[in-house]
């Protein structure tokens, strides 16, 4: 099964996450640390980690700097943030620094299980209030995450546009592959190409920036 690192300085919260993982992903290995430096060391010693869940405010994190260090040292490991912080601007900042998910500590066990599942499946996860933001708020989020240059959309092939449209709806690679009747590896290749052509760091940034895109305009336009 999976190998997941929980990095949080509150033992009770680590136990809560571990119990969710034990229930949802039986047989998985859970590693635990209570400070950022030990987290870096464990990640170095365990290159096959499938997911790091990192407390935003634990000792050694130095705010968002910790995210940058973890991403620079281990860019291949998906990084989810766990935090009591619920400020939307903070959530978006963590995305900009390379996180692929943000789980608030007020999240229910069921939603926490859903969040971890989505991240492990290659999806991104944001708190529900971010997803439900008004169009104006979504546009502002996209701007703060790095708004897309409309010209860059012209570089996407029709297939890439179809994949991107489904990404924007929060669908996983597996769901996209099923709907488009293509291999999941093909979807992954399209996603990589989309991120490169749109000049965004990760999938979650692309999704946020897509909030004000009229995909019909591009899909129905002769290419």
pLDDT digits (tens, 9 = 90+) for 190-199: 999 998 898 8
**Alpha-carbon distances, residue 207 vs 94, 109, 187 (angstroms):** 14, 25, 15
Q: Is residue 195 part of a domain?
A: yes
* Contact assessment for residue 99 and residue 79, using Cβ atoms and an 8 Å cutoff: yes
Q: What mean pLDDT is reported for the chain?
A: 84
Kindly state whether residue 136 falls inside one of the protein's structural domains: no
Domain containing residue 166: CATH number: 1.10.10.10
pTM here? 0.66
- Label residue 71 by pLDDT band (50, 70, 90): confident
Q: So what's the pLDDT on residue 128?
A: 72
User: What CATH number is associated with residue 60?
Assistant: 3.40.50.2300
Over range 119-137, report the average pLDDT: 68
Domain boundary at 101, 131, 161, which? 131
Does residue 138 belong to any structural domain of this protein?
no
pLDDT at 46 over 70: yes
Contact 180, 163 (CB under 8 A): yes
User: Of 34-38, 40-44, 204-208, where does mean pLDDT reach its minimum?
Assistant: 204-208
What is the pLDDT confidence band of residue 142, given thresholds at 50, 70 and 90?
very low
For residue 149, the enclosing domain spans 144-219
Q: What is the pLDDT of residues 54-69, one digit of tens each?
A: 999 999 998 889 998 9
Residues in the chain: 223
Assess whether pLDDT exceeds 60 at residue 155. yes
Q: Looking at the predicted structure, is the pLDDT value of residue 204 above 80?
A: no
Q: Which of 75, 107, 131 is at the close of a domain? A: 131
| pLDDT band at residue 135 using 50, 70 and 90 as cut-offs | very low
User: Do residue 66 and residue 106 come from a single domain?
Assistant: yes
Give the best-scoring range by mean pLDDT among 81-95, 108-122, 135-149, 209-223: 108-122
Residue 66 lies in a domain: yes
What pLDDT, on a 0 to 100 scale, did the predictor assign at position 148?
Answer: 65
Taking the C-alpha atoms of residue 43 and residue 50, their distance in angstroms, rounded to an integer, is 10
**E runs forming strands in the chain:** 3-7, 29-33, 51-55, 79-83, 101-104
Distance CA 109, CA 89 (A): 24
């Amino acid at each position: 099964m999976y190998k997941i690192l929980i990095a949080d300085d509150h033992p009770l919260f680590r136990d809560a996450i571990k119990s969710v993982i034990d229930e949802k992903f039986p047989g998985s290995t859970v590693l635990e640390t209570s400070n950022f430096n030990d987290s870096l060391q464990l990640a170095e010693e365990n290159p096959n980690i499938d997911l790091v869940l990192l407390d935003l405010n634990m000792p050694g994190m130095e705010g968002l700097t910790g995210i940058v260090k973890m991403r620079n040292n281990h860019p291949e490991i998906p990084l989810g943030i766990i935090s009591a912080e619920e400020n939307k601007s903070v959530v978006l900042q963590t995305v900009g620094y390379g996180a692929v998910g943000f789980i608030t500590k007020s999240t229910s066990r069921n939603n926490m299980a859903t969040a971890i599942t989505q991240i492990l499946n290659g999806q991104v996860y944001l708190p529900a209030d971010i997803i439900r933001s008004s169009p104006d708020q979504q546009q502002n989020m996209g701007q703060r995450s790095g708004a897309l240059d409309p010209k860059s959309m012209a570089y996407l092939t029709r297939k890439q546009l179809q994949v991107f449209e489904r990404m924007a709806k929060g669908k996983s690679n597996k769901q996209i592959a099923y709907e488009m009747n293509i291999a999941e590896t093909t979807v992954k290749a399209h996603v990589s190409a989309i991120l490169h052509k749109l000049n965004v760091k990760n999938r979650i940034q692309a999704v946020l920036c897509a909030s004000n895109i009229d995909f019909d305009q591009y899909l129905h336009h002769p290419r």
